[in-house]
Amino acid sequence: MIQNNPVGRLIAHVILIIGILIVAFPIYYTFVASTQTLQEILRPPLSLLPGGHFWENYSAALFGGVGRIGGVGVDRLLFNTLVMALGIAIGKICISILSAYAIVFFRFPGRMIFFWLIFITLMLPVEVRILPTYKIMVDLGLIDTYTGLILPLMASATATLLFRQFFMTIPGELVEAARVDGAGPWRFFKDILLPLSKTNIAALFVILFIYGWTQYLWPLLMTNRNDMSTIVIGLRKMISFADADTEWHLVMVTCILAILPPIVVVVLMQRWFVRGLVETEK
């Protein structure tokens, strides 16, 4: 559907621009609000141009210790969330790539049982498992720790299945060639499987990082201390039911800061996707 008809092009552009505006405007509006004072925000209509309090608001949010969340700065929340998101993403990838490796390339008793055990966990939503998991974490004394935040979310059937499907496409001859070349299981994994999985790992990392970053229910249960909260929980705590109590300008700043890291990850990793697509090394 490539048309050189100018009217067609115009319509296409208009539709695209409207689409972009619908998606981008709320974010822009948030940004505008994050550069105003609380009084300006509460006195409608809100201006459509950024105000003059950018530095003031952002430094207050980052380092000032925002009142509502018990004197913890947004920087601390961002750090907590980063640790959690990275821990979940990296942990999940490590565990699932290793279990997929075992399931696809090794013959051991109970192989299919293990595979189905992993597969079945897909059928249990987080909410079903959350109470027993919580109980275990309490018994282990892992409340208010990074381990407690990360560990239960690390096992992933989805990622294991994805890697399994990819490994199954690797031709048997390649495995045999490596055996003839004297590569043991560990060398084969490190020298051949990992490099071939690069693009899969990158794609999974992006998805899992955002998954970890936006976790709400689990951190809500696991953290009591304000300095262990994640950014999403922090945001929730900042919003009070009485409108006047809420420091909306700081909430907006926190929103913008919460959006940034996932955007950075996507933008950086996108180059990997493209490279992977162009090279198709399979």
Cβ proximity to other proteins, 9 vs 187, nearer residue: 187
Looking only at residues 158 through 197 of this chain, which bind other proteins when binding is defined by CB under 8 A? 171, 173-174, 176-183, 187, 191-192, 195-196
Q: Could you tell me if 232 and 206 are in contact, meaning their C-beta atoms sit under 8 angstroms apart?
A: no
Nearest to 134 by CA among 180, 126, 99: 126
130 interacts with other proteins by CB under 8 A: no
Matching residue, tokens 């972009």: 20
Cβ proximity to other proteins, 167 vs 209, nearer residue: 167
Q: Please report how close the Cβ of residue 265 comes to other proteins at its closest, in angstroms.
A: 24
Total residues in contact with other proteins, by rule CB under 8 A: 20
Residue 73 tokens, joined: 């700065």
- 64 to 91, 226, 246, 262: CA distances (angstroms): 33, 15, 16, 24
Cβ proximity to other proteins, 122 vs 194, nearer residue: 194
Looking only at residues 86 through 115 of this chain, which bind other proteins when binding is defined by CB under 8 A? none
- C-alpha 118/C-alpha 122 separation (Å) is 7
Looking only at residues 255 through 274 of this chain, which bind other proteins when binding is defined by CB under 8 A? none
Q: Could you tell me if 122 and 158 are in contact, meaning their C-beta atoms sit under 8 angstroms apart?
A: yes
Cβ proximity to other proteins, 22 vs 278, nearer residue: 278
Site string for other proteins, 195-234 (x = CB under 8 A): xx--------------------------------------
Q: Please report how close the Cβ of residue 270 comes to other proteins at its closest, in angstroms.
A: 21
The tally of CA atoms less than 13 A away on the side-chain side of residue 28 is: 10
Looking only at residues 60 through 89 of this chain, which bind other proteins when binding is defined by CB under 8 A? none
Q: Please report how close the Cβ of residue 171 comes to other proteins at its closest, in angstroms.
A: 6
Q: Which amino acid is at 116?
A: W
Q: Please report how close the Cβ of residue 274 comes to other proteins at its closest, in angstroms.
A: 17
Q: Please report how close the Cβ of residue 184 comes to other proteins at its closest, in angstroms.
A: 8
- C-alpha 152/C-alpha 239 separation (Å) is 28
- C-alpha 140/C-alpha 93 separation (Å) is 24
Q: Please report how close the Cβ of residue 37 comes to other proteins at its closest, in angstroms.
A: 55
Residue 205 tokens, joined: 């990392």
Cβ proximity to other proteins, 179 vs 225, nearer residue: 179
Cβ proximity to other proteins, 31 vs 189, nearer residue: 189
DSSP 122: G
- C-alpha 187/C-alpha 190 separation (Å) is 5
Cβ proximity to other proteins, 75 vs 279, nearer residue: 279
Nearest to 99 by CA among 4, 152, 48, 167: 167
The CA-to-CA distance between both ends of the chain, in Å, stands at 30
Q: Please report how close the Cβ of residue 159 comes to other proteins at its closest, in angstroms.
A: 21
Q: Which helix (H) or strand (E) holds 202?
A: helix 198-213
Cβ proximity to other proteins, 75 vs 181, nearer residue: 181
Q: Which residues bind other proteins (CB under 8 A)?
A: 171, 173-174, 176-183, 187, 191-192, 195-196, 279-282
